[in-house]
Amino acid sequence: MKSYEKVIEKIILICAILSTLSVGLITVFIFHSGLPVLKDYGVLSFIFGMDWKPTNGQYGIFPLILGTLSVTFGALIIGIPTGIACAVFLVEILPSNIAKIFKSAVELLAGIPSVVYGFFGLAVLVPAIRTYFLPIYQIFRPEATTTGFSILAGAIILAIMILPTVVSISENSLAAVPHEYREASLALGANKRETIVKVLIPAAKSGILSSVILGMGRAIGETMAVLLITGNMPVAPKSMLDSVATLTGTIAMEMSYATPTHQSALFAVGIVLFVIIMLLNILAQLMMKRMGGGQ
């Protein structure tokens, strides 16, 4: 019996080592391939350079960083309130047998391949922004024009893509709030809205926050869908209707035909993306510690 358990223990150990090792190997590989360009071109002129023109030997990725951040935060601004509201509705308001149908529909969103989202965006969302959204926007800013390939298009598609993550994790943590909390709140004379806003959401805070972090991770790393609908223009955006290029999109698009220096520069873009994701994760975890401490 004991030797049997030892074998199992070893197998589990190997699995744990494998996953850690692959992270390590990927990191080493990316840094090894990308560092030469960072060294030759200069880290600062690489990160803060405004021109990304690999054919001309210009590797400034600041417009790409702005593109990735604007699309990601746009997606969070649209996706998080929608996702949390959806989770509250499913747990607290809808009868559970009907909620099941809604829930599986939302979860089905996670199973759609991202390139399908991209083509949907290209064929439906981009023209819709140009024909329907632009006139409304022009009431406030008459000089605005857009082709539809924009931060807004990318943000809307990404918001839909992060919904399943945000909804299902938030929903689980809301459902895990002890029933006594609801009863106590209602017994104190609070109505349903007050109970949800002041008791349930604060109590489920840490779960909701982690759903946001996971959603952000998905949004920042998403490539195919965004590639097709943001226009891939490596220019600093001035409004949400401008086209942008993202870090991931640029890597995916240009890797196949790249010359050796260009390829190395794309790996350096990967390094920057890696660092941005790590920083955002650390920031989010700190926030979670501070805010979730009261629970």
Partner 1 sequence: MLKAKKTLVIGLIAAMTMTVALTGCGNDTVSENNENGLSGTVVIAGSTSVQPLSEELADAFMDKYPDVTVEVQGGGSGQGIKSIEQAIADFGALSRPVKEEEKASVRTETIIAKDGVAVVVNPDCSVKDLTLEQIQKIYTGEIKNWKELGGDDAEIVVVTREEGSGTRGAFTEITKVLTKDENGNEIDQTISQAIVQPSTGAVKQTVATTPNSIGYVSLGALDETVTAVAVEGVAPSSETVVDGTYKISRPFIYVTGTDISKAAQVYVDFVMSEEGQSIVAEEFIPVK
Residue 134: CB minimum distance to partner 1, A:
12
Subset of 38-77 contacting partner 1 (CB under 8 A): 51, 53-57
Q: Which residues pair with 52 in a beta bridge?
A: 59
Give the helix/strand (H/E) hosting 53. Answer: strand 52-53
By CB atoms closer than 10 A (0-12, 13-18, 19+), residue 18 is: exposed
Centre a 10 Å sphere on the Cβ of residue 109 and count the other Cβ atoms it contains. Answer: 15
Residue 258: CB minimum distance to partner 1, A:
5
CA separation for the pair 124, 49 (Å, rounded): 34
Spell out the residues 6+ positions from residue 14 whose beta carbon is closer than 8 angstroms to its own.
none
For partner 1, the binding residue among 37, 74, 84, 130 (CB under 8 A) is 130
Stretch that binds partner 1, among 10-18, 70-78, 158-166, 250-258 (CB under 8 A): 250-258
Query: For residues 70 and 210, which CB has a smaller minimum distance to partner 1 in the complex?
Result: 70
Subset of 167-226 contacting partner 1 (CB under 8 A): none
For partner 1, the binding residue among 34, 67, 79, 231 (CB under 8 A) is 231
For partner 1, the binding residue among 234, 240, 267, 268 (CB under 8 A) is 234
Give the residue ranges of DSSP H helices in the chain.
2-41, 43-48, 62-88, 96-109, 114-120, 126-128, 134-140, 151-175, 179-187, 192-194, 201-203, 205-221, 224-229, 247-254, 260-292
Query: For residues 73 and 119, which CB has a smaller minimum distance to partner 1 in the complex?
Result: 119
122 scored as a contact of partner 1 (CB under 8 A): yes
Query: For residues 212 and 228, which CB has a smaller minimum distance to partner 1 in the complex?
Result: 228
Subset of 145-164 contacting partner 1 (CB under 8 A): 145, 147-149
Q: Contact, 158 vs 222, CB < 8 A? A: yes
Q: Residue 29 region, left (φ>0) first, then alpha (ψ -120 to 50), else beta?
A: alpha
244 scored as a contact of partner 1 (CB under 8 A): no
Residue 92: CB minimum distance to partner 1, A:
42
- Interaction site with partner 1 (CB under 8 A): 51, 53-57, 122-123, 126-127, 130, 145, 147-149, 227-228, 231-235, 243, 245, 252-254, 256-259, 262
